């Protein structure tokens, strides 16, 4: 007798899009955290390698943005401008909170969102790329939201028969 294991990779198209969005946001969050480390200490990248704590800040930035997207995924991808703004602001603030808390548990919770805003304000090109990245995530997850909403749509039955 054989036991059949469930297939873990039998994802729908929109679930694959969600996974892609989480991976891209995580990579971009790690890049923003790396730029934050370099802005705070330029020698951290150019003159010497990253220290263990500086590497942890980069990893916590990636984890923070990925978890922020995962937590807010039910609000992202809906129709309307408000949903797009909510994506931009919600993921950004939550990514700063989670990433900052992971990097430095007490003070990072307070300074994480502030440092993210300062980093994005200090580099307009990075801020534009951040907005484009989250806009792309919003578009990617609209298909996922439509698939989720269709699961709960009422079934219309015809009278013919």
* pLDDT tens column, 35-63: 888 888 887 777 887 888 889 999 999 99
Q: Is the pLDDT of residue 16 over 70?
A: yes
- According to the model, what pLDDT value does residue 53 have? 87
Rounded to an integer, what distance in angstroms lies between the CA atom of residue 17 and that of residue 159? Answer: 38
Instruction: Return the minimum-mean-pLDDT range out of 5-9, 58-62, 122-126, 139-143.
Output: 5-9
- According to the model, what pLDDT value does residue 7 have? 63
- According to the model, what pLDDT value does residue 143 have? 82
pLDDT band at 8 (very low <50, low <70, confident <90, very high): low
- According to the model, what pLDDT value does residue 60 have? 95
Percent share of the chain, pLDDT over 70: 90
* pTM for this entry: 0.82
Instruction: Return the minimum-mean-pLDDT range out of 3-7, 13-17, 19-23, 62-66.
Output: 3-7
Q: Is 148 exposed, middle or buried (0-12, 13-18, 19+ CB in 10 A)?
A: middle
- According to the model, what pLDDT value does residue 160 have? 63
Percent share of the chain, pLDDT over 90: 33
């Amino acid at each position: 007798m054989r036991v059949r294991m469930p297939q873990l990779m039998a994802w729908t198209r929109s679930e694959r899009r969600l996974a892609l969005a989480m991976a891209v946001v995580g990579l971009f969050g790690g890049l923003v955290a790396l730029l934050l480390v370099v802005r705070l200490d330029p020698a951290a990248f150019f003159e010497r390698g990253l220290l263990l704590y500086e590497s942890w800040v980069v990893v916590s930035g990636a984890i923070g943005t990925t978890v922020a997207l995962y937590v807010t995924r039910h609000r992202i991808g809906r129709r309307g401008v408000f949903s797009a703004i909510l994506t931009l602001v919600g993921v950004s603030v939550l990514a700063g909170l989670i990433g900052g808390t992971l990097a430095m548990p007490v003070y990072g919770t307070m300074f994480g969102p502030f440092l993210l805003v300062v980093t994005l304000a200090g580099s307009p090109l990075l801020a534009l790329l951040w907005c484009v990245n989250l806009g792309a995530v919003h578009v990617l997850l609209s298909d996922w939201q439509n698939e989720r909403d269709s699961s709960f749509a009422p079934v219309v039955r015809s009278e013919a028969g």
